[in-house]
Amino acid sequence: MTAPAVSVAMPVRNVAATVDLAIRSIAEQTFPDWELVVVDDGSTDATPEILTRWSAADARVRTHVDGASRGISARLNEAVRLARGELVARMDGDDISFPQRLEVQVGYLRAHPDVDLLGAGEMVFASTGELRGFRTAPPDHPAITADVLGGIPVSHPTWVGRREWFLRNPYDPAATACEDQELLLRAHATSTYANVPDVLLAYREDRIKLRRSLAARAATAAYLLRHGRTGGRLAAGAAAAAGQLARGARDAAAVLLHQEERVMRGRVTPPRPGDEQTWQVWRPVVLAGHPDGSGAPGPDAGPEP
């Protein structure tokens, strides 16, 4: 079997309500030369059954279910090892890739062989169908890495990079809930990052997951301190770590005071004139589960016969 141009790596866990739509968004890409490597991380809902139906219906969908729970970093490393494409794209089981996503990002990487890892803009939405706003990022490596301790803006769900880069720079399983920023920071001095301005992914964000947020902030603070110390920037690392802990406290206060919506809206660029019209094209997809309105995804979701 000929290797595809790009392998889409999708680690999943208990996403039966959304994974059908996520997979469909890859199946309907305008760029046809792909494979989807879905690695389940010990799901206890109907996710494995949905994956089985997809892999039976489409040979490009390769699913791996072993019943164990090893964490997203270990599963991403596993998906990279299983990937056959020269490029590896990230995808989560609750987001939506717009049809032109792979075409745009693969085209960019082919035209820019010096770039190791590429991100894109994203539209942020709620499962209720509400458009929250947008996130975009600087286009080139110098701007992206201008303040590495303050964060490296390449949105994880939008990543497409060279497989050999992922093999050289594996995810750290110890980086709980901050695996992307830890990797970006660790690899930035020997890598080249870029972002395309196009909004190519719809990112689902319903609420602040407080336990995950606090774990991510604490882990991020720890690696920022470590990086600052080893890089001779201890004071800067300590300041960045304190900022992460302060953001964790803000998230906790938002949840306790029922101010989640205000905080989440502060993390995105508000919709611009005309954006709502664009979203109306996608809102039925989110609410119905498929562009043809065939029904919301759920335990019985799967590819059409």
Which pLDDT band holds residue 295 (cuts at 50, 70, 90)?
very low
pLDDT band at residue 1 using 50, 70 and 90 as cut-offs:
low
Percent of the chain with pLDDT over 90: 60
Residue 2: which pLDDT band, with cuts at 50, 70 and 90? confident
pLDDT in tens, 59-85: 999 999 999 999 999 999 999 999 999
Q: Which of 3-12, 95-104, 293-302 has the lowest mean pLDDT?
A: 293-302
Q: What is the pLDDT of residue 7?
A: 98
pLDDT at 81: 97
CA distances from 272 to 81, 112, 171 (A): 41, 30, 36
Task: Enumerate the β-bridge partners of residue 193.
Answer: 117
Q: Is the pLDDT of residue 3 over 90?
A: yes
299 has pLDDT over 50: no
What's the one-letter identity of residue 171? Answer: Y
Per-residue exposure over 231-266, b if at least 16 CB sit within 10 Å of its own CB, e if not: eebeebbbebbebbeebbebbeebbeeeebeebbee
How far does CA 148 lie from the centroid of its chain? 19
**pLDDT at residue 298 above 80?**
no
Q: What is the pTM of this model?
A: 0.87
Give the per-residue pLDDT at 304.
Answer: 34
- What is the pLDDT, as a whole number, of residue 292? 41
Say what the pLDDT of residue 305 is: 27
**Tokens for 39?**
């690695």
Alpha carbon 277 to its chain centroid, in Å, reads 25
Q: Is the pLDDT of residue 289 over 70?
A: no
Q: What is the pLDDT of residues 203-229, one digit of tens each?
A: 998 877 777 778 888 888 887 888 778
Quick check: 187 pLDDT over 90?
Answer: yes
Q: What is the pLDDT of residue 221?
A: 82
- Which tokens sit at 262? 């205000």
3 state SS of 194? strand
Given a contact cutoff of 8 angstroms between Cβ atoms, the answer to whether 63 and 49 are in contact is no
**pLDDT at res. 288:** 58
Confidence of residue 303 (pLDDT cuts 50, 70, 90): very low
Dihedral angle of Cα 141, 204, 66, 35, to the nearest 10 degrees: -60
Integer Cα distance of 16 and 38 in angstroms: 13
Q: Identify the bridge partners of residue 37 per DSSP, sorted by sequence position.
A: 9, 62
Q: Are 111 and 185 in contact (CB under 8 A)?
A: no
